[in-house]
């Protein structure tokens, strides 16, 4: 993408990854339209906390990804669409699965349908490592079977298939990015790393968690953002599904220990039954193969391996332990 030449729309720009991606693209000099979820408070989510020069450079469109008219209106005049808007909380998908179908599947249909009609240059659709379910082999390649072990992951499988069907049926230029377990500043405390950090930062020494035996491939948000930009820039990405992962596996239990080490805290783990997934729904193992990203995009993690993970955690802890940031989280309340 050449600076100033491409008009970029980011759906979900108000969220965790979306806000970081929006800021980085603005800093790189791109013309960015931020699609944020309409609300009566006129809040732009995390973009409200962006530097003033970033906010001054943005064109903000408040709408709802479930509304096809609004989506198409937002996409007019845009060359590239980075589609991140989604419901992502797994526990809430047990509670309200219908909303996940509407938001994740229908929302994606709205984006690719508008892209087809408007002749958009490229759509980068956001997938998730959860679509793989518990690993049948490791490291997980893009050819791994898809397994809907939660309503959330099933909705994302459906969204991925809708997006790719438009490439196959209509030659709509779609690329699918599949990030593994992104973490970093601004992440919701329903995710495991922020819930550990915020409990410790608030003085807790008995940390409430769900299962600690599953393994994950954690990726610092800066690496994920670079992955999005690389997919957007790479012509070879069209028609492809590409893992963005560190190729480093660590258990939740060992992650807790590493965070406690970074924060200089002595802690104990207490199992909270409310945080446990149903037995067959728990994804026991995730470990990314990232050779395709390296080959097609020239992307590789800057925060890879244990040392990189520890550096990412240090930056994350630094952000969360800032009093102004920490007070935005209810560490004593479990949010599904």
What's the CATH superfamily of 7-187+219-247+286-305? NAD(P)-binding Rossmann-like Domain (3.40.50.720)
Could you tell me the residue ranges of all domains in the chain?
7-187+219-247+286-305
Q: Check pLDDT > 80 for residue 1.
A: no
The span from the CA of 221 to the CA of 191, in Å, is: 14
Out of 3-7, 136-140, 176-180, 280-284, pick the least confident: 3-7
pLDDT at 2: 58
**Distances in whole angstroms, Cα of residue 292 to Cα of each of 139, 142, 225, 240, 241:** 12, 8, 17, 10, 9
pLDDT at 104: 98
Crossing angle for the helix pair 252-263 and 192-201, nearest 10 degrees?
A: 30
Answer for the pair 32, 1: CB distance below 8 angstroms, yes or no: no
pLDDT number for residue 193: 97
Asked if the model's pLDDT at residue 4 lies above 70, the reply is: no
Question: Residues 301-307: what's their mean pLDDT?
Answer: 98
Token pair 């012509």 is found at 235
Q: What is the pLDDT of residue 274?
A: 87
Place of tokens 């050779």: 291
Is the per-residue pLDDT at 254 higher than 90? yes
Q: Would you say 206 and 267 are in contact if contact means Cβ atoms under 8 Å apart?
A: yes
Q: How confident is the model at residue 331 (pLDDT cuts 50, 70, 90)?
A: confident
Q: Of 46, 73, 75, 72, give the one whose Cα is nearest residue 329.
A: 46
Query: With 60 as the cut, is the pLDDT of residue 79 above it?
Result: yes
* Whether the predicted pLDDT of 234 surpasses 70: yes
What is the tens place of the pLDDT at every residue in 179-198? 999 999 999 999 999 999 99
Per-residue pLDDT of 85-125, as tens digits, reads 999 999 999 999 999 999 999 999 999 999 999 999 999 99
Mean per-residue pLDDT for 304-327?
97
- Does the structure show a pLDDT above 80 at 8? yes
**What pairs with residue 31 in β-bridges?**
7
* pLDDT tens figures, 17-73: 999 999 999 999 999 999 999 999 999 999 999 999 999 999 999 999 999 999 999
Closest CA relative to residue 269, chosen from 248, 283, 255 = 255
Q: What is the mean pLDDT of residues 158-165?
A: 98
Give me the mean pLDDT over the 201-212 stretch. 94
* Count of residues making up the chain: 336
């Amino acid at each position: 993408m050449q600076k100033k030449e491409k008009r970029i729309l980011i759906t979900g720009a108000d969220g965790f990854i979306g806000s970081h991606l929006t800021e980085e693209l603005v800093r790189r000099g791109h013309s960015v339209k931020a699609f944020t979820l309409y609300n009566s408070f006129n809040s732009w989510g995390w973009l409200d906390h962006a530097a003033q020069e970033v906010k001054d450079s943005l064109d903000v469109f408040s709408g709802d990804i479930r509304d096809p008219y609004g989506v198409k209106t937002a996409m007019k005049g845009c060359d590239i669409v980075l589609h991140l808007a989604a419901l992502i909380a797994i526990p809430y998908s047990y509670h309200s699965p219908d909303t996940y179908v509407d938001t994740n599947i229908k929302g994606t249909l709205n984006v690719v349908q508008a892209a087809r009609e408007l002749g958009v240059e490229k759509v980068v659709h956001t997938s998730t490592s959860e679509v793989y379910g518990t690993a049948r082999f490791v490291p997980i390649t893009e050819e791994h079977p898809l397994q809907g072990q939660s309503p959330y992951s099933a909705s994302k499988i459906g969204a991925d298939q809708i997006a790719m069907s438009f490439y196959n049926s209509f030659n709509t230029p779609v690329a699918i990015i599949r990030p593994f377990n992104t973490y970093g500043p601004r992440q919701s405390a329903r995710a495991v790393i922020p819930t550990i950090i915020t409990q410790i930062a608030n003085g807790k020494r008995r940390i409430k968690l769900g299962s600690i035996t599953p393994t994950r491939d954690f990726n610092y948000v800066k690496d994920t953002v670079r992955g999005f930009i690389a997919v957007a820039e790479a012509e070879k990405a069209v028609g492809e599904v590409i893992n963005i992962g560190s190729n480093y596996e660590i258990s939740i239990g060992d992650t807790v220990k590493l965070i406690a080490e970074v924060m200089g805290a002595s802690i104990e783990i207490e199992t909270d039954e409310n945080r446990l997934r149903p037995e067959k729904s728990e994804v026991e193992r995730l470990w990314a193969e990232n050779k395709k990203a390296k080959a097609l995009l020239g992307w590789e993690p800057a925060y890879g391996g244990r040392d990189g993970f520890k550096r990412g955690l240090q930056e994350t802890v630094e952000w969360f332990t800032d009093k102004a940031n920490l007070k935005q989280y209810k560490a004593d309340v479990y949010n599904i």
